[in-house]
Amino acid sequence: MPSNTYEQARFLGMIFEQVPIGIAIAYNYEPESSDPANVIINPRYEQITGRSKEELIGLGWAKITHPGDLEKALQNFRRLQAGQIPMYAMDKRYIKPDGSIVWVHMIVAPFTLPNTEQKSHICLIQDITGHKAVEKALHESERSKSVFLSHLPGLAYRCNKDRDWTMQYVSEGCFGLTGYPPESLLYNRDLSYNDIIAPEYRELLWEEWERILPKRLPFKYEYEIVTATGERKWVLELGQGVYNEQGEVEALEGIVLDISDRKAMEDTLKYNSEHDSWTGLYNRNYLISLLKKDLTQKKGLKKALIGINLGSIHLLTINYGFHYSQNLIKKAAEVLSRYCKENCLLFHTRENRFLFYLLDYKDKNELVAFSKTIVEALEGVFVTDRISGGIGILEIAPDESEVNIEEGLLRRVLIASERSVSLLGKDFEVCFCDEELEAVINRERDIVEALNYIAAEDYTNNELYLQYQPVMDIKTGFICGFEALARLRTKKLGPVSPVEFIPLAEKTKLILPIGEKVIIQAFSFLNRLTAQGYNDIAVSINISAIQLLNPGFTGRLLELVREMQVNPENVAIEITESVFVSDFDYINNIIGKLRAAGFRIAIDDFGTGYSSLAREEELAVDCIKIDKHFIDKLLGQDLSKVITGNIISISHKLGHCTIAEGVEHEKQLQHLKEYGCDRVQGYLISKPLDEEDAISFLRNNYTEKLC
């Protein structure tokens, strides 16, 4: 501290020069102008205002004060001068020479000099432009926050963490969302927020907050509220805990948004993904997801599936068009849906298939009774259209796994329903998918497995072999040919009838490689016969439609004829009438080619299928094999009604040879002789024989050139 007066004055002068506050002292000062001699200004003052001492004095402070602050500044100054106030402080803006603004905090107070009457004052200014910017930003953010909150499509809140969710703050949007004004919720004045939450969510929300708060996780939950008008609304709440320094939860803050539009859209999407658009019934996807859920969650309850198969409806589509059959399906859906109950749901699983899913039913009898009701209902719908259908019932075992729904459960119901269609083929029949059917399904799988194995190129076993059934010429009584009949015998399956395995081979298309193996074996048999001197014995081979329609068939057959050097004239090809259903002209054309190559063609099972006598004349064939059905009729009493004789005579008129199959009794043979039938085949002559036996049989019943 300076000791003498001079030192002191110098020291104070230094402070005046260096202090980071602008100081101006004026004597007899007027705002507009002043005498320079009466004003002292420190450098900081010049720096803050951006103007020199001379400039400041010349202009006077009023001129450099921002117009927005001037009035207030002048007012303060006048009051100070008038002695109305002892001092004043204010924030105001100065305009710098470059036009920019500087904010200052200003304190103005009287300044009394000893021994003078002059009115003086001191003015201190501090640059607060920085603060002002922060303040402005803060203000702006507060403002935008409040704008945001008031426009929020929902409510923003701050509440206590208690069971009422006692609100400390609720934004304006509360009214739009809940129908209650925000004040009514504040501190539970009229009701609590918890009262607005739909009851079933209250506990869940509490639990979710309890879960996330200790972990300081954000809160996110979708639930429903009940508004003032009693309407339910879907909301999404996003929130977080507010923690104090000790880490305790002080409050909860967040927003509650209206998501009813999104929910409605989601509901529509969900509806579409779970429903069939044509019938409005649940679809297959939903069935699968429901079963998956129920198989794990409803283990204790009995479950059954009842599949309804309207397979034959496609025939109507062929005849009357798509719309016709579609409308029938809709009608069926309407009728069936009348039988839906809480524990009995209906699904439209595929174009021609419906399915009931029954939960918690009593017993098998209930299922049978229910199926019968369904049958009656469907017969009502299809009475004029003669549509038949199958109904398959599957009781789901309690330990059924949820991983195998499509390939396991649904496939089994389908098989049961298909089986009842194909087995019974009349109106609507019911078939249980029980152990018996399971056994059938398993056996079919085993057969297909065996066929697959046999179909392989390098297959050499004799599980697939042929038997030969002699064909006798009626006039001579001697054997003139054999029909080759396929046989399957495996260790696992034992002997399997062709009635069983041929349809499976056809279904799996394995008939193509297997049929070729049959042809090769039949050709070797034929070669054996010729080698033994039987040059005029024919061997007939059964050929499936699938083989005949396979584009490579004729070529391959001719190739085999060349390779194995057989005479095609000794080969007859038996095809069933049903192949003509697919494309009459196409098939007739193939047959023409085969005949041109020398093969003989026989129509098998004649009279049972499609073509009937009406089109027989168009068929370019050599032989007609009259089905056993007509031969059996020859055992009856009233032969006048039997058309067997007519078939034979028409066939002859058209130049076809006739063969009667399934002849078991002498009486039948006699009648066939009377009608002039050419050949017979049946147990009366011989059962199908193994190769060796067939050759010995031939040896005993053959006369050259008579056949």
Decide: is 318 part of the binding site for ligand C2E (CB under 6 A).
no
Spatial separation of the C-alpha atoms in residues 583 and 585, rounded to whole Å: 6
Which element (helix H / strand E) includes 299? none
DSSP at 702: -
Q: Shortest approach of ligand C2E to residue 656 CB, angstroms?
A: 17
Which residue number, 607 or 662, has a Cβ lying nearer to ligand C2E?
662
Question: Are 252 and 216 in contact, with CB atoms under 8 Å apart?
Answer: no
User: Cα–Cα distance between 77 and 84 in angstroms, integer?
Assistant: 10
Q: Smallest distance, Å, CB 555 to Ca ion?
A: 24
Backbone dihedral angles phi then psi of residue 169, each to the nearest 5 degrees: -145, 135
Identified binder of Ca ion from the candidate list 276, 395, 429, 574, rule CB under 5 A: 574
Q: By CB under 6 A, which span of 113-121, 274-282, 401-409, 495-503 interacts with ligand C2E?
A: 495-503
Q: How many helices (H) and strands (E) does the chain have?
A: 28, 25
Span 542-571, contacts to ligand C2E by CB under 6 A:
542-544
- Looking at 418, 605, 622, 632, which residue binds Ca ion (CB under 5 A)? 605
By the rule CB under 6 A, 688 interacts with ligand C2E: yes
Quickly list DSSP for 23-87.
EEEEES--SS---GGGEEE-HHHHHHHT--HHHHHHH-HHHHB-HHHHHHHHHHHHHHHTTSSS-
In angstroms, what is the minimal distance from the CB of 586 to Ca ion? 22
SS3 201: helix
Interface positions, 593-652, toward ligand C2E (CB under 6 A): 604-605
The interface partner of residue 518, options being Ca ion, ligand C2E, none and the CB cut-off 5 to 8 Å by kind, is ligand C2E
Q: Rule CB under 5 A: say whether 542 interacts with Ca ion.
A: yes
Nearest 5°: phi and psi at 10?
Answer: -65, -40
Options 127, 604, 616, 678; binder of Ca ion; rule CB under 5 A: 604
Question: Contact at 8 Å (CB) between 419 and 439?
Answer: no
Residue 633 beta carbon to Ca ion: minimum distance, rounded to whole angstroms: 15
Bridge partners, 572 (sequence order): 540, 600
Q: Are 474 and 671 spatial neighbours (Cβ–Cβ below 8 Å)? A: no
Question: Is the CB of 574 or the CB of 577 nearer to Ca ion?
Answer: 574
- In the list ligand C2E, Ca ion, none, the entry touching 498 (Cβ below 5 to 8 angstroms by class) is ligand C2E
291 or 480: CB nearest ligand C2E: 480
Which C-beta is closer to ligand C2E: that of 331 or that of 665?
Answer: 665
Query: Under rule CB under 6 A, which residues in 156-215 are in contact with ligand C2E?
Result: none
The site that binds ligand C2E (CB under 6 A) totals a number of residues, namely 22
Residue indicated by tokens 């996330």: 212
- Confirm if 301 and 362 have CB atoms less than 8 A apart: no
**Nearest approach, Cβ of residue 281 and ligand C2E (Å):** 41
The sign one gets for the Cα dihedral 545, 547, 549, 555 is negative
696 contributes a contact to ligand C2E by CB under 6 A: no
Instruction: Return the one option of ligand C2E, Ca ion, none that residue 616 interacts with (CB less than 5 to 8 A, by type).
Output: none
**β-bridge pairing 571-576 and 494-496:** unpaired
From 204-212, 291-299, 549-557, 602-610, give the range in contact with Ca ion by CB under 5 A. Answer: 602-610
Instruction: State the Cα–Cα distance between residues 600 and 572, nearest whole angstrom.
Output: 4
Report the chain's terminal Cα–Cα distance, integer Å. Answer: 154
Which span sits near Ca ion by CB under 5 A: 227-235, 248-256, 538-546, 666-674? 538-546
User: Which residues, 499 to 528, sit near ligand C2E by CB under 6 A?
Assistant: 499, 502, 518
Rule CB under 6 A: choose which of 662, 668, 694, 697 binds ligand C2E: 662
Q: Is 684 helix (H, G, I), strand (E, B) or coil?
A: coil
Which one among 310, 358, 454, 485 touches ligand C2E, defined by CB under 6 A? 485
Taking CB under 6 A as the criterion, the residue among 250, 664, 691, 693 binding ligand C2E is 664
Q: Which does 325 bind (CB under 5 to 8 A by kind): ligand C2E, Ca ion, none?
A: none
| Three-class HEC string of 84-118 | CCCCEEEEEEEECCCCCEEEEEEEEEECCCCCCCC
Contact 222, 234 (CB under 8 A): yes
Q: Measured from the CB atom, is 274 or 664 closer to ligand C2E?
A: 664
x-marked contacts with ligand C2E along 444-483 as a string, rule CB under 6 A: -------------------------x--------------
Residue 605 C-beta: closest distance to Ca ion, Å: 4
> How many residues are given for the chain?
707
Element (H, E) at 615: helix 612-616
Interface contacts to ligand C2E, rule CB under 6 A: 469, 485-486, 497-499, 502, 518, 542-544, 574, 604-605, 661-664, 681-683, 688
Interface contacts to Ca ion, rule CB under 5 A: 542, 574, 604-605
